[in-house]
Structure 1
Amino acid sequence: MTELLRPHAEQSFAEELAALERVDDRPKPPRWRLSPWAVTTYVLGGEADGVTITPKYVGRRRLVELAVATLATDRALLLLGVPGTAKTWLSEHLAAAVSGDSTLIVQGTAGTPEEALRYGWNYARLLAEGPTKDALVPGPVYRAMQDGKLARVEELTRIPSDVQDALITILSEKALPIPELDDEVQAVQGFNVIATANDRDRGINELSSAMRRRFNTVVLPLPDSADEEVEIVRLRLDSVGQALELPPATSALEEIRRVVTIFRELRSGVTEDGRTKLKSPSGTLSTAEAISVVTNGLALATHFGDGELSAEDVAGGLTGAVVQDPVADKVVWQEYLEAVVRERDGWGALYRACRAL
C-alpha cells in the first residue's frame, strides 16, 4: 500500500478504523462496520484504544451528526456546497467508516449514461446467449444494493436530468427493476446513497422536486474562520505530502496562512480588518484550490529549492488560481497586489514574486 499514490480511506486509516471497532460497544445499524457515534468520532477525531483518531473533516459537529443520522435511516444523503467544501472527501470517509468500502462510486459528468447508475451488459455474451444474469454487468449502485453498502454518486447535478431519474425508483422503492430479465434486485439492509452536488459550477442540471424529496440535504459551508481553514489545508497537505514525499505542512504554516488570507479576502470582497473593499475574481477560490497552490509550492521548494516553502514557490500557483479570466481577473489581482499585499508588513517577498509573474 505504501507504493499507492492515493490509497482509499479504508486503506490509509485502517489502524484507526480497527481501533474504533475494538472499543465500539454502541448499537450499530445492520451491516454497519461502526456505530453512528464511532463514525462521527472517526470523521471529527478523538482517541480509541490508545490510538489517536485524526480529524478528517474540520467543521461543525452537528452537520456530521446530521449526515450520519440520515444514513442510518431509509433516506439518502445529499452533501451540498460550493466547490472545495470537502463534499467528496467527507463522502469517502463516511463510506469507509460505515461500509468499510468507499469504492462503490459513480462519477457524475455530462456524459454519464444511465447504465452507470443501474447496470450494463457484457455485449459478447449478450450476443451469444441473449439477456441472462451472466451477461449482466452490475454497476456500483447495484452492487451496493446487493451487499448492503453505501453507494457514492459524485457531482449529481452534472448528470443529465433524464439519467438522474434512474435513481428515483432505487431511492423510493429500494429496488432496481431488470425488465430484460423480468426480474429485479432488492436492496438489503445497510444500503444507502451519498450524493454530492454544488450549484456554482457551470453545466449543472437542476434536481427535480421528485429527486430532492428522496434526499436529506446537508449543506457544507466554507470554513468559518481563517484558523479553521488553515487547519484544513494543513491536515490535507500532511496526507497528500506523505504519498508525494513532500516536507510536512507544519514547516509552511506562514505561507499557508498568507494563501488562505488572500483567498478569504478575495472571496468576501473585503480585507480582514474590514477597511478596504475589494473586487472578487470569477473563480471560487476554495479551500481545495488553496491546498493545490501550497502543494505545488512544496513540490517546487523540494525539487528546485532548499526544501523550505517561500513566497516565490507559491506565487505562480496563487496567480494561476486567482486569474481564471485573463482580462477581468488580471485587473482584480493587480489591484489587490497594489492596494493590499504591497502595504502589508512581511509580505514584500510575495508582492515582488507575484508582480514578477
Structure 2
Amino acid sequence: MTSTIDATPTVLRPHAEQLYAAELEALAAADDLPRPPGWRMSPQAVVTYLLGDGKDVSAKYIGPRRLMEVAVATLATDRALLLLGVPGTAKTWVSEHLAAAISGDSTLLVQGTAGTPEEAMRYGWNYARLLAEGPTAGAVVASPVMRAMRTGAIARIEELTRVPSDVQDTLLTILSEKTLPVPELGEEVQAVKGFNVIATANDRDRGVNELSSALRRRFNTVVLPVPGTVEEEVEIVAQRVASLGRSLELPEVPDAITEIRRVVTVFRELREGLTADGRTKLKSPSGTLSTAEAISVMTSGMALASHFGDGTVRAADVAAGIRGAVVRDTVSDAVVWREYLETVARERDGWKDFYRAAREAE
C-alpha cells in the first residue's frame, strides 16, 4: 500500500499576518502618516487595524480605544510593553496582532514556563558545530529575541511571570542597552530600529515569579480589563465564535445569539457573585470563567449542533460545556453550580430548557 502526503496542507490556525494579509496590505498602502523607523504602518493605522473601521477592517479587539493607543504609543518609544490581565482578556490575541501590524511577523515568540531556559531569551549553541568548529557565529542558535533584534521586529514573550527570575533578568541589558552580548565570540548584537518586546502576564500569577523592580521599570504596563458590559462581551464571543467556525470549517448554523447571551450571562453572574438584576448574591467558583472560556463553550456547542443535532444551537448543546467550565473542583464548585441552577436558572423566565439540560448533564 502506498500513501501520499499533501504538499500544501491547509493550515489549521494561520498567523495573524496571513489571515488578515489583505487588511494589512490595504491599510499600509493607504497610510500616509509618519511611521516610526522599522514600522510597516503608522501608529494610527495600527490602532485602526486593531479596532476596525466599521467597513473594510474588522475589529480584532473590542474594548477601550485609549488602551490600544497607549499600547501602540509605548512600542514607538524605547519602552517595552507588558500586557497584564486575568486569563481570557485577549492578551495573547492583542500581542499577536500588534506584532503582525508593526513588523509583519508575529512568530518571534518565547513561551514562558517554569522550565524556560536562558537560551530561549538570549541564544544557544548547535553542539555538533560547536564541537567541530569551536565557538563560531555559525554555531550560534539565535533565540526569537535575538532574531527580532537583528531584523528590527517585535519579539513576543508569553506568560513572563512564569519564567524563573534569573531568566527574566537576562532581558535587562536587552531592554535598557538594546544590545545582546555574545561573550564567547567577543561580539554583541545591536538591535535594529523597529525592535521592541511585548510581554504578557497573568494577574492570577502574582507571587509566582514577580518581575524585579529593575525589570518592571523597563516595561510600560497596560492592563486589559474584562469586558465592561454584557453587550460588549456578547459581541466579542459572537465575533470570535464565527471566526473559529469558519477556520474549523464547521457547517453553518443559524444565529446562535440567544445561547451566546445565556453563556455570557451565566459566566458574568458567577464571576461577579451577583445576578444581573442585583437582587441575589451568588457564590463564585474557583475558575476564572473568562471570555475565552465562553468562546470555547460556544464553539463546542456549535460543533454539537452541527454534527449531532439539527443545526440550531440550543441549551442542551451548551449546558455540559458550561458545567465543565464552572466545576473545576468537584466538591466546592459542584455546590456553587447546583445552587446557581436551583436559585437562578430554575426561576428565570425562558430558562426552563437550560435548567433541564443542565440537570441532565450532571
Give, in angstroms, the shift of residue 248 of structure 1: 5.3
8 Å contact kept, 2:161–2:205: no
8 Å contact kept, 1:238–1:249: no
Match for residue 286 of structure 1 among 290, 293, 297: 290
5+ unaligned residues in a row in structure 2: which ranges? 1-7
8 Å contact kept, 2:316–2:354: yes
User: Helix, strand or coil: the match of 2:48?
Assistant: helix
Give, in angstroms, the shift of residue 306 of structure 1: 1.1
Residue 12 (structure 2) pairs with residue 12 (structure 1): no
- TM alignment of 1:297-308, pairs within 5 A: 297-308=301-312
The residue aligned with 1:145 is: 149
C-alpha change, 1:203 and 1:35, in structure 2 (3 Å) is same
Give, in angstroms, the shift of residue 249 of structure 1: 7.4
Distance 1:197 1:287 in 2: 17
Identical amino acids, percent of aligned pairs: 72
Runs of 4+ aligned residues of structure 1 deviating over 6 Å after TM superposition are none
The residue aligned with 2:299 is: 295
Distance 1:190 1:122 in 2: 28
Give, in angstroms, the shift of residue 4 of structure 1: 1.1
The residue aligned with 1:354 is: 358
Residue 51 (structure 2) pairs with residue 44 (structure 1): yes
Distance 2:137 2:17 in 1: 31
Counterpart code for 2:138: D
The residue aligned with 1:32 is: 39
Residue 26 (structure 2) pairs with residue 22 (structure 1): no
Match for residue 104 of structure 1 among 103, 108, 111: 108
- TM alignment of 1:146-225, pairs within 5 A: 146-201=150-205, 204-225=208-229
Residue 335 (structure 2) pairs with residue 328 (structure 1): no
8 Å contact kept, 1:238–1:248: no
Give, in angstroms, the shift of residue 235 of structure 1: 1.3
8 Å contact kept, 1:140–1:151: yes
1:276-316 Cα deviation digits (max 9, x unpaired): 00000000000000001011111111111111111111011
1:9-66 Cα deviation digits (max 9, x unpaired): 000001101110111000000110110000000000016xxx6100000000000000
8 Å contact kept, 2:253–2:311: no
Residue 344 (structure 2) pairs with residue 337 (structure 1): no
1:48-95 Cα deviation digits (max 9, x unpaired): xxx610000000000000000000000000000000000000000000
Counterpart code for 2:88: G
- TM alignment of 1:310-321, pairs within 5 A: 310-321=314-325
C-alpha change, 1:66 and 1:250, in structure 2 (3 Å) is farther
Distance 1:202 1:318 in 2: 27
The residue aligned with 1:76 is: 80
User: Helix, strand or coil: the match of 2:346?
Assistant: helix
Q: How high is the TM-score relative to the length of structure 2?
A: 0.96
Give, in angstroms, the shift of residue 2 of structure 1: 8.5
How many residues align structurally?
354
C-alpha change, 1:149 and 1:228, in structure 2 (3 Å) is same
Distance 1:248 1:67 in 2: 36
User: Helix, strand or coil: the match of 2:99?
Assistant: helix
Distance 1:213 1:237 in 2: 37
8 Å contact kept, 2:297–2:318: yes
Give, in angstroms, the shift of residue 202 of structure 1: 8.3
The residue aligned with 2:4 is: none
Give, in angstroms, the shift of residue 143 of structure 1: 0.4
Match for residue 115 of structure 1 among 116, 119, 130: 119
Distance 2:300 2:83 in 1: 28
8 Å contact kept, 1:237–1:249: no
Distance 2:161 2:132 in 1: 37
Counterpart code for 2:202: N
Give, in angstroms, the shift of residue 246 of structure 1: 2.2
Distance 1:81 1:65 in 2: 17
C-alpha change, 1:23 and 1:57, in structure 2 (3 Å) is same
User: Helix, strand or coil: the match of 1:52?
Assistant: coil
8 Å contact kept, 2:253–2:312: no
Distance 1:209 1:247 in 2: 51
5+ unaligned residues in a row in structure 1: which ranges? none
User: Helix, strand or coil: the match of 1:17?
Assistant: helix
8 Å contact kept, 2:253–2:313: no
CA RMSD of aligned residues (A): 1.4
Distance 1:52 1:116 in 2: 38
